[in-house]
Amino acid sequence: MWAEQTKAYAKGDVKGTKLSTYAAALALSGTEDDLKDLRSKDIVTTGAPTHKATVTLLDMDKKVPHAKLTDCLDSTGWKFVYRKSGKRVEMPKDRLVRYVTKVEAEKWGKQWKIVDVTPQQHAC
């Protein structure tokens, strides 16, 4: 999911990506909303975040198998830039660049989909 999401942020649109193969529900709509906002400001990204995820819950006995993960997202190498000029977008100096995200996934048929990604306001 993150590879496809990174592609979407780099071009400013989910069109031409396979994001919907790996994301659904709030995870997909949240990305689409973020991209709409960034497009209105003519902002895209360069680089990519890195991750270190661990599964904290796996319930295969539910009708729709469910998993929870905790991910340490490191956005150090993921930069927001203005599309036309390539100039970096100024970010707050106190912005967290390595932070915890809580992730929920469901197994739809043979495919796991990320259904929610919730950034936490603390570093990892």
Mean per-residue pLDDT, 44-59 = 97
107 pLDDT band, cuts 50/70/90, is very high
CA distance 3 to 23: 11
Q: Model's pTM, two decimal places?
A: 0.90
Residue 70 corresponds to which amino acid? Answer: T
CA distance 55 to 29: 23
Residue 80, pLDDT score: 97
Mean per-residue pLDDT, 89-113 = 96
Residue 72, pLDDT score: 97
